[in-house]
A and B are shown apart, each in its own frame.
Chain A
Amino acid sequence: MNADCLLIGSVALSRNEATTAFPHAADSAALVGLFGRVSTALAADGQPGEWETFELDAVSPVQRAYLVERGLMTPSFSRSRGAGRGFALYQSGRASLEVNGLDHIHLLGSRVGGHLSEAWATLDAIDDLVESAITYAFDDTWGYLTSRPADAGTGVRAYATVHIPGLMVSGHLGGVAMNLISLGLVLAPLWEGAGGFFQVSNRGCQGTSELLIAETVTAAANEVEQRERSVRKGLFREHPVRVKDHIGRALGVAQQAWSMTAGEAVSLVSAVWVGVTIGVVDAPWLGNEEALALIRRVQPGHLAVDELGAGHGGLDDPRLDEVRARILRETFAGVRVCT
């Protein structure tokens, strides 16, 4: 993997219309009107079918979970409802657009194993398209104006996903988080920290440029990952039996369990994946993309849509835990810990 490539690089971009109150302070008619203007602009863009537009209230909880798991919808927007809230998908998931969430416009783009600058380039072009429909709230000093003052400026939040279970179990994560804060960055957990997955992101959007934000977040994430590799080596060198025991037990559960929560599955896949990177588990096919795809596949929304299909019983369907365990049993069948 190229040094600047990230496990997952995600970018979010916030914008507002100058002459409409921000969503939480605007009336429904204003929000419906804005969503209509944006929808019209998207429909006129590019090839037919390039954009799929939805009213959020028409998107089911399972579909919302699926979109959140793919990085195409934010968790907070997935909990929104009401007239004027809209959602649009670009090129089957290359990017997406939340309309009238925290801000009028919230563009999202993610790349697995890619660069933040690539995700930004896609959003930059969509941003220009949306601007053909609405006049952005902008101030020469503040930059783009947003509901949350901390987002004002570029309106860009860049997120680099890092897999750092070694730093987590060795108790170094607090120090890493405080160090990132001193650099103007934030460390926040994915899946409530299960499996040691976190995201490094910028906390301020002012007095900097979009590409500089991308570079800063990328550099910090790479440094954290480098420290993680060093800690993993140290742990394995100093405690080889404990490390092998932890990974071997995780593999055993993954191969034998018949019911499993999403959090447990993330932790197990994480442990086995670490085992592959340090040569403890013989599964060379489990690279970054494969591990991330497996973790996504066992999330509730994906299980409901892809595995249970039309007959699913929603996100509380008791069969989800059973299907999740089956997938891990099948995936790791025959995989062994190196002796």
Chain B
Amino acid sequence: MFTDGSEWQPGTGGMVCESCGQEPASVHVVRIEAGSVSHSHLCKECAQDMTDQSEGASLVFALPSALNGLIAGAAPESSGHRLGRQSLVCGVCGTTLTDLSQSGLLGCAACYEVFAEYLKGVAGSTAGAHLGKIPRRSPIGAGEQREVLRLKRMLDELVESERFEEAAGVRDRLAELARDIAPGT
């Protein structure tokens, strides 16, 4: 069994604690009482207060905000992609920082580089290299990933605007890249 709660999407509620209105909301509190369910986004202190005050049959449990600090955390001014916070966009898939803050979702592998400064401190993440399983064959380089994604997007746009000759050239380039990085090669 898998709970719906495990797929709770962060970022859709207010980012400020709904109780004190001061601190950033870092905990999603779900309260079940007399068969009804209510949701609140609270800071840690207010969430603790609520759980302490929960008695009898009323029930309070909490889920961490998975993107805690994502929007509230400011990226350094040196970020190469940054023209202004809301105008930051992934040139490969078109995802913007606003999209990310609203949906909590990245659009492609390249987004990890584009939004890197904003992804620091994502709930549950820890600094340092990946420690788990790695792909059986060497993953393709970030540059190749970006190039393929960029060309695919370009191909879609060219076809949509009926620029078929240019689209054919992009398609050929994609085919070349696909041969280079095909599984088993």
- Chain A positions near chain B (C-beta within 8 angstroms): 8, 10, 12, 16, 18-22, 24-25, 27, 30, 68-69, 71, 74-76, 102, 108, 110, 124, 127-128, 131-150, 152-154, 156-157, 159, 161, 168-169, 171, 173-178, 181, 184, 186-190, 192-193, 198-199, 201-210, 263
**Are B123 and A177 in contact, CB atoms less than 8 angstroms apart?**
no
**Are A24 and B30 in contact, CB atoms less than 8 angstroms apart?**
no
Q: Take A22-B106, A171-B56 as given contacts and tell me if A192 and B32 are in contact as well, using a CB distance cutoff of 8 Å.
A: yes
**Are B51 and A174 in contact, CB atoms less than 8 angstroms apart?**
yes
**Are A189 and B30 in contact, CB atoms less than 8 angstroms apart?**
yes
- In the complex, the chain A residue whose C-beta lies closest to that of B108 is A21
Nearest chain A CB to B158's CB is how many angstroms away? 13
B4-18: contact bitstring with A at CB < 8 Å (1 yes, 0 no)?
111110000000000
Cβ–Cβ < 8 Å partners of B24 in chain A: none
Cβ–Cβ < 8 Å partners of B55 in chain A: 171
Cβ–Cβ < 8 Å partners of B152 in chain A: 19-21, 30
Cβ–Cβ < 8 Å partners of B47 in chain A: 178
**Are B142 and A139 in contact, CB atoms less than 8 angstroms apart?**
yes
- Does any Cβ of A come within 8 Å of B3's Cβ? yes
**Are A178 and B130 in contact, CB atoms less than 8 angstroms apart?**
no
Interchain CA distance A267-B1 in the complex, whole Å: 17
- Does any Cβ of A come within 8 Å of B83's Cβ? no
Majority-rule SS of A interface residues: mixed
Among B95, B109, B119, max chain A CB count under 10 A is at B109
A-B contact pairs, 19 of them (CB 8 A): A18-B145, A25-B94, A25-B107, A132-B183, A139-B142, A140-B129, A148-B104, A149-B67, A150-B67, A171-B56, A174-B52, A176-B61, A178-B47, A178-B48, A186-B64, A188-B5, A190-B1, A204-B122, A206-B130
With A148-B66, A154-B132 given, name 18 new contacts (CB 8 A).
Answer: A20-B108, A21-B92, A22-B106, A25-B105, A68-B1, A74-B7, A110-B1, A128-B136, A134-B183, A137-B145, A138-B134, A142-B130, A143-B132, A150-B122, A159-B3, A190-B3, A193-B32, A205-B132
Cβ–Cβ < 8 Å partners of A210 in chain B: 132-133
- In the complex, the chain A residue whose C-beta lies closest to that of B99 is A25
Among B54, B64, B70, B95, max chain A CB count under 10 A is at B64
Cβ–Cβ < 8 Å partners of B61 in chain A: 173-174, 176-177, 187-189, 198
Majority-rule SS of B interface residues: loop
Q: How many residues of B contact A (CB 8 A)?
A: 75
- Chain B positions near chain A (C-beta within 8 angstroms): 1-8, 27, 30, 32, 35, 37, 47-48, 50-52, 54-64, 66-67, 70, 92-95, 103-109, 112, 119, 122-137, 139-140, 142, 144-145, 148-149, 152-153, 156, 178, 181, 183-184
**Are B135 and A138 in contact, CB atoms less than 8 angstroms apart?**
yes
**Are B126 and A207 in contact, CB atoms less than 8 angstroms apart?**
yes
- Return the 4 tightest CB-CB contacts between A and B, nearest first: A204-B124, A174-B51, A188-B5, A207-B126
Nearest chain A CB to B110's CB is how many angstroms away? 9
Interchain CA distance A145-B125 in the complex, whole Å: 13
- In the complex, the chain A residue whose C-beta lies closest to that of B130 is A143
Contact of A177 among B8, B60, B131, B153 (CB under 8 A): B60
**Are B126 and A204 in contact, CB atoms less than 8 angstroms apart?**
yes
Interchain CA distance A204-B131 in the complex, whole Å: 13
Cβ–Cβ < 8 Å partners of A174 in chain B: 50-52, 54, 59-62
Nearest chain B CB to A170's CB is how many angstroms away? 9
Contact of B135 among A10, A136, A141 (CB under 8 A): A136
Cβ–Cβ < 8 Å partners of A30 in chain B: 152
- In the complex, the chain B residue whose C-beta lies closest to that of A19 is B148
**Are A206 and B54 in contact, CB atoms less than 8 angstroms apart?**
no
Cβ–Cβ < 8 Å partners of A188 in chain B: 3, 5-6, 8, 61, 63
Nearest chain B CB to A6's CB is how many angstroms away? 12
**Are A16 and B109 in contact, CB atoms less than 8 angstroms apart?**
yes
Q: Take A22-B106, A178-B51, A203-B123 as given contacts and tell me if A150 and B5 are in contact as well, using a CB distance cutoff of 8 Å.
A: no
